[in-house]
Structure 1
Amino acid sequence: MMEKRDSLRLDKWLWYARFFKTRSLAAKIVTGGHVRVNSNKVSKAATTVGAGDVLTFAQGNHIRVVKLVACGTRRGPAPEAQALYEDLSPPVAHVPGDKDYVPPAPKFEGKGRPTKKDRRTGLLSRPDWLE
Structure 2
Amino acid sequence: QNDGHGQGGAIFQTGSMLTLTNCEICNNEANEKAAQGGAVFASGGATLVVSNCRIHSNVAHNGRYNQGAGIWLMDSTLTMSGSTLYDNKADQGAALFIHRSTATLDEGCHVDGSIHGHYTKVLAARTGGR
Instruction: Name the larger-Rg structure.
Output: 1
Which one scores higher on RCO, CA 8 angstroms, separation ≥ 6?
Answer: 2
Q: TM (normalized to structure 2)? A: 0.23
Greater percentage in helix? 1
